[in-house]
Structure 1
Amino acid sequence: MATVTPLSQRVLAGDVRAASRLMRHIDDGEASATADLQALFPKTGKAYIIGLTGSPGAGKSTLTDRLITRFRKQGKRVGVLAVDPTSPFTGGAILGDRIRMQEHATDPGVFIRSLATRGNLGGLSRATGDCIRVMDAMGQDIVLVETVGVGQDEIDIAQMAHTTVVVTVPGMGDDVQAIKAGILEVADVFAVNKSDLDGADRMVRELRMMLELRHAVKAPAMDHDAHHRMVRAKAEGRHVEETPPPREWEPPILKVVAAKSQGVDELVQAIEQHRAFLEETGLRKEKERSRAAMQFVALLRERLLRGALAKLERERGRLDEVASRIAERQADPYALAEELASQLAE
């Protein structure tokens, strides 16, 4: 059993300053954070995680702000992780989402934190999962994770959240983007924001059409012989026990105007209905197993890479020096990688 550290003890008591300090250590990749996370881990698993993702400019931050208000009215403590893009050149992040949620800054029941993606292809840094656990351990009932836009690889949120809300907006080519990005596989709820603009009804129709098409494609065809046996049995008047298909969640498509707080109550209701569905079908536990696997693999990958780079530096020089030799064709990257991998495997 992990030893409770002074910092983790303060986090468990709901100390916002302690949680902020630990999250900074996590985001900076400091090794000292591991002991604190180990101490907090047994106390996690209670918070409900809601992801919001969508194209830049879709109004995710405004919608997040309105959701905070609704959940606070229900008496729930809310944590928000706003994942901002990091510049690949400067390493800096915009971290502008907290500016748009200033009205909640003085509410002790709301804790908002910005994180940088640090160039992670999935749009979510590994630190995000650890910071969710910190918010969970400190007693937040709901954790809202607002991510960078939707892209081909940016679907990590579907594994990390219990309910994923995909925010679209008319007039931004989202109808085409939806097909490209595979957001049909990600979304538990669609929120067509800024639905007072032209094109909102068209956006809803096209999303519905794509959902129906997906449903038709996914519908399992009955085995040919089984179908004939069923037809023959019915013709002979024998009772046939038909296995009902497994329950599936049909993502609702909601029209929302977050700036005017229109449709937000209906969105909260849809989220709660999805939560009830997950509980009734046992899919919540399945989602949590999937998230645990993803986070463990990410942690393992990071540890192995750190060990490989340390070994490389000890035996072959710093990474930039090795890269220079590779660029000048003085070293074979394939042989080096294979050699390091085999040594780490021993």
Structure 2
Amino acid sequence: MTDVPALVEQARAGHPRAVARLISLVENAAPELREAMAALAPYTGRAYTVGLTGSPGVGKSTSTSALVTAYRRLGRRVGVLAVDPSSPFSGGALLGDRVRMQEHATDPDVFIRSMATRGHLGGLSWAAPQALRVLDAAGCEVILVETVGVGQSEVEVAAQADTTVVLLAPGMGDGIQAAKAGILEIGDVFVVNKADREGADATVRELGHMLGLGQARGPEDWRPPIVKTVAARGEGLDEVVEALEKHRAHLAEHGGLTVRRRRRAAQEIEAIALAALRSRIGDLHGDRHLDALAERVAAGGLDPYGAADELVAGLTDGQAD
């Protein structure tokens, strides 16, 4: 039996093993999860969350590692949630955090966790919101969320981040991909990585042109900057941090931070409620009430919408047992 209060206290004190165990509770949807989330709630809401997204090959992991270095130079405690593709066999992450960011493995003020998507579309693990809460409560001042490089479905990162960074690279067709994927709408800061390659300036110009063709912005609206980096050499990362801090200040000044966090909380609540309903519906497979409804629909005595209404009413009223 897990001693949740002790685990929470240890995580708040910065013990990596306690933080890891709490995130494991999240990933496994353990019975102690509700108690853990309730205990963590008073200590959340302080961290600044940055999402990093982009097509495969743009250097997300290298950029994330370089950003950790930049923030550590500023004395910030950093958490990293690296969401990896799932193994089709074990359901686990294919890439490990120690492989990705070895240089930070011994830093006590950096916590890195790889999480598997487990087939979840959108580039993020379904457990990501609760894992972010754990890192927040554990005292991480900045949390970097690096998403799976899955292309067009990756825009979900914007819902989990205070600021979303979109990475592109020269010569990868990212300009066309960005227009198709709706990335222009979710990016708060755009980074053209591998800027030492031929075509980097052309990529910056093309991206700037597309941003100029986007939605009209008022004088108080945020205008996403474009920053060139060579993350493998740590070049341009201070400028990225500067752009992130400016966006954070802009959100705070105009109330955008509160709006984004309330929207994130609403989506989290909705996801948990829907998961609970799906679980209850799953329990009904083979149940006499569901079988009776199916029989009436198959016989033409009831339409499927009416049957679904009856099913939902039974679930919410506790009468479907």
Whole-angstrom CA distance in 1 between matches of 2:85 and 2:303 = 30
Please state how far the C-alpha of 1:6 moved relative to its aligned partner. 2.3
Q: Does 1:112 align with 2:112?
A: yes
Matched, 1:274 2:251: no
Structure 1 residue 311: Cα displacement: 2.6
Secondary structure (helix, strand or coil) at the match of 1:126 reads coil
> Shift of the alpha carbon at 1:8?
1.7
**Would you identify which runs of 4 or more consecutive aligned residues in structure 1 move more than 3 Å?**
87-90, 150-153, 313-317, 332-340
The 1:247–1:90 alpha-carbon spacing in structure 2 relative to 1, beyond 3 Å, is same
* Superposed displacement of residue 129, structure 1: 0.6
Q: Note the C-alpha offset of 1:67.
A: 0.6
Mapped to 1, the partners of 2:38 and 2:279 lie a distance apart of 19
Is 1:342 matched with 2:308?
no
Match of 2:182 in 1: 182
Aligned counterparts of 1:193 and 1:97: Cα–Cα separation in 2: 21
Shift of 1:13: 2.1
Give the structure 2 partner of residue 294 of structure 1: 267
Alignment partner, residue 202 of structure 1: 202
Return the alpha-carbon distance in structure 2 between the equivalents of residues 264 and 255 of structure 1: 9
2:145 partner amino acid: V
Q: Which one of 282, 306, 314 corresponds to residue 279 of structure 2?
A: 306
Counterpart in the other structure of 2:94: 94
* 2:257 aligned with 1:284: yes
RMSD, aligned CA: 2.6
Other structure's SS at 2:107 match: coil
**Does 2:222 align with 1:249?**
yes
- Preserved contact between residue 95 and residue 115 of structure 1 (Cα < 8 Å): no
Whether contact under 8 Å (2:189, 2:243) holds in the other structure is: yes
What's the CA shift for 1:116?
0.8
Three-state SS of the structure 1 residue aligned to 2:178 is helix
Alignment of 1:1-346 (within 5 A): 5-88=5-88, 90-149=90-149, 151-215=151-215, 218=216, 245=218, 247-312=220-285, 314-315=287-288, 334=304, 339-346=310-317
Deviation at 1:62, TM superposition (A): 0.4
- Counting matched residue pairs gives 309
Q: Could you give the per-residue CA deviations for residues 98-153 of structure 1, whole angstroms, max 9, x where no partner exists?
A: 41201111100000001111211222123111011001101111100000125333
For residues 178-209 of structure 1, the C-alpha deviation after alignment (integer angstroms, 9 at most, x for no partner) is 00100011100001111111221121111111
- 2:152 aligned counterpart, secondary structure: coil
Identity of aligned residues (%): 51
Deviation per residue, 1:285-310 (Å, 9 max, x gap): 11111111111111111111112112
CA separation of 1:303/1:50 partners in 2, compared to 1, >3 Å: closer, same or farther?
same
1:252 alignment partner AA: P
Structure 2 Cα separation of the partners of residues 97 and 54 of structure 1 = 19
Aligned partners of 1:87 and 1:119 also within 8 Å: no
Distance 1:316 1:169, change over 3 A: farther
Q: 1:176: how far off?
A: 0.9
CA distance in 2, matches of 1:64, 1:312: 44
TM-score, normalization by structure 1: 0.82
After superposition, what is the alpha-carbon deviation per residue over 1:321-342, rounded to whole angstroms, capped at 9, x for unaligned? x9xx9xxx99x99577555333
Equivalent residue letter for 1:267: V
Report the CA distance between 1:88 and its aligned residue: 4.9
Where does structure 2 lack aligned partners over 5 or more consecutive residues?
A: none
Report the Cα offset of residue 56 of structure 1: 1.1
Q: Deviations over 1:247-272 (max 9, x none)?
A: 11111111111011111111111111
Secondary structure of the 2:221 match is coil
Q: What is the letter of the counterpart of residue 114 of structure 1?
A: S
Change (3 A) 1:314 1:263: same
Contact 2:53 2:154 in 1 (8 A): no
Change (3 A) 1:148 1:316: farther
Match of 1:51, SS state, is strand
Partner Cα distance (2:9, 2:289) in 1: 42
Structure 1: gaps spanning 5 or more residues: 220-244
- CA spacing shift, 1:143–1:344, aligned 2, 3 Å: same
Q: In the aligned structure 2, how far is the partner of 1:311 from the partner of 1:52? A: 40
The amino acid across from 2:180 in the alignment is K
| Larger mean Cα displacement after TM superposition, 332-341 or 111-120 | 332-341
CA distance in 1, matches of 2:225, 2:33: 40
- State the Cα distance separating 1:61 from its structure 2 match: 0.5
Give, in whole Å, the separation in 2 of the partners of 1:260 and 1:66.
Answer: 8
Contact kept, 8 Å, 1:58 with 1:193, in 2: the verdict is yes
Determine the C-alpha separation between the residues in 2 that align with 1:301 and 1:157.
20
